Amino acid sequence: MSRLPLSLRQPDSVASGAHALPEMAAKAAPATFGHAMTAYTLMNNHTARLLKNQVVTAGLATRLMDPQIWGESQQLQSAVVQRLQQQNQDWLKGCAILMQDYAQIKQANTMTKLIEKQCNLMLQWNLLLTNQATNLLGLMENIEVDYGYWASQKLHA
């Protein structure tokens, strides 16, 4: 969440913006490093999951003729398709709402209202894109974890 002030006027006790920049940069540097380390760790975890899934899949290759594995695999795929269809429906609904809001921009009768409507539209667009990206990545992670668990169980059964 943003912690921007509601008022742009700073109290007299706060240093002026130019003098506060080095202090703010010094505080931000460790946070930036921490964010980079988090991303690095998450990518390593993702890579490890993918490699584990590849090994387990190679192990399952010997059981390709097992009808139970085929049936369960199709169920997993069907669940993924349903989630993708739901995400597509959410995307289309979001775009329809944005198009309706876009059509209402011409109803603005002052510059203030025009800017307010345009900024609101941009924020809604950003939220729609953020939700779609987050949901798609969440689905991908769920597929990796669920498939890995399922395949490990089948391999060791």
Check whether 41 has a pLDDT greater than 90. yes
Q: Which is nearest to 151 in space by CA: 36, 91, 66?
A: 66
Exposure b/e, 7-30, CB count within 10 A at least 16 = b: eeeeeeeeeeeeeeeeeeeeeeee
φ, ψ (nearest 5 deg) of residue 118 = -65, -45
pLDDT for 17: 61
18-31 mean pLDDT: 71
pLDDT for 4: 43
Check whether 24 has a pLDDT greater than 80. no
Domains of the chain, residue spans: 17-156
Report the number of secondary-structure helices (H) and strands (E) in the chain: 3, 0
Check whether 16 has a pLDDT greater than 70. no
Residue corresponding to tokens 């995400």: 87
Q: How far apart are CA 36 and CA 39, in angstroms?
A: 5
Q: How far apart are CA 157 and CA 57, in angstroms?
A: 14
